[in-house]
Amino acid sequence: MPETRVSIDRVFHALGDPTRRAIMERLSEGPLSVTRLAEPLRITVTAVAQHLQVLEESGLVHTEKIGRVRTCRIETAGLSVIEKWIGDRRTVWEKRFDKLGELLAEEE
pTM, whole model, 2 decimals? 0.79
Q: In terms of Cα–Cα distance, which of 5, 83, 22, 10 is closest to 53? A: 10
Q: What is the pLDDT of residue 19?
A: 97
Decide which of 77 and 27 is more confident: 27
Where are the domains positioned within the chain? 2-107
Mean pLDDT (the chain) is 90
* Amino acid, single-letter form, for residue 63: T
Say how far apart CA 18 and CA 42 lie, in whole Å.
Answer: 13
Say how far apart CA 68 and CA 100 lie, in whole Å.
Answer: 60
* φ, ψ for residue 42, nearest 5 deg: 55, 40
Q: What is the pLDDT of residue 47?
A: 95
Residue 107 vs residues 11, 93, 100, 102, 104: alpha-carbon distances, Å: 43, 21, 11, 9, 5
CATH architecture of 2-107: Orthogonal Bundle (1.10)
Give the mean model confidence (pLDDT) for residues 10-16.
94
* Residue range 33-55, pLDDT digits in tens: 999 999 999 899 999 999 999 99
Give the mean model confidence (pLDDT) for residues 67-96.
91
C-alpha neighbours within 13 Å on the C-beta side of residue 52:
25
Give the pLDDT band of residue 105 (cuts 50, 70, 90): confident
